[in-house]
Structure 1
């Protein structure tokens, strides 16, 4: 028997990166998992990887109608939910002087508004004693160039973690955040030319106290800890960053 047999988990942004890695960890240990993503092809590939205990739902975190439809689908599939990992988000690297209203609004619509209303719509389905985990970023505590608007959206999530933790406390629902640093999800290789990606990774490695990137599995283990095992912890942010924001 798996450690999470019978548990029902929803993961937004679960078709790639550490969202998918977390889903795989949970499915392998007996849980049923519903993942969301915006791209159908990537969702289909993730669903095939995860097997019959996974449900893949196309859903846009920036769309309130999509979030409402997601809540209906979760209720139909699971009835109630034991853990919610609100992981859907985007990154945009833009210098301050070049930031546009369109990009700014996109960052906040997905990273902040989408997360807030995802919790709101799914909260009625959360079982007593369940755990909610939001994805923030070390950028919310470090002054980093090119990501000021992204960092602000993640700082909003950090504050939201505390507020929602207080509001959901009467139902014994815990709300915490996971704050990843540089994690080797392959996003740099996919989004930058090869030489630029290698230079960026080398610089980030050299600047990290542990002198390496994190593995998605290390984030997944921290998420599952907050979702299920941290029964006396709420409103907290757990960093998984090799010490980058602490040392």
Structure 2
């Protein structure tokens, strides 16, 4: 996705844009670098929802303020999730009923404490009134392997990872935490349709600039980014990796960050993922 971003900006604005990947420190290293960069439009941050709305709770002194240290530009796509279960569970209703009869006896997986897959499940358990045993893994691959092997009962997987297993009958797709059904698997209901009112989950990617970037530069960047990611060929590439369209523009991104900061403060505490 970083290559798509730099290529699109180069074509749209001219000059040369280069992706500089800075992993580590729960994604705080690159984020801090951009927060402290000269606000001239030459340094941008492509980040996930967790950088702005989960890491600030999980990492003591992350080194940046999610709102004050950035001029946010736009969301570029939202990672689709799907709640999947081992095929021994015929329906989500049957699973929830059994989980209520046997608190903490049924297990779910995630790709780490405080990860998106963990937090969305914590939200589901809160809404369903159940307690499950959490088994974290080092990534999505091992979690998928374990649920396929029947050693897990439930998993919020990325849609792209779950889709082939659901289509083959190896996993049962229960629902998607989105406002509407996914066009490529219209038989899978939304969590809202299953009775979980308002249950959606934000897992977007976004682009931001350092705070203090001049307004004309911000306007030019925002317009270019919205145009790049609205193009049909880009939408096809995003669809291929399981990203759905997100509301474009700076205002929508800022509002989503504020809303998710409020929501995740409680969910991160419930998940035991708050910094001590």
TM-score between both structures, scaled by the size of structure 1: 0.30
Whose radius of gyration is greater, 1 or 2? 2
Structure richer in helix, relative to its length: 1
TM-score between both structures, scaled by the size of structure 2: 0.28
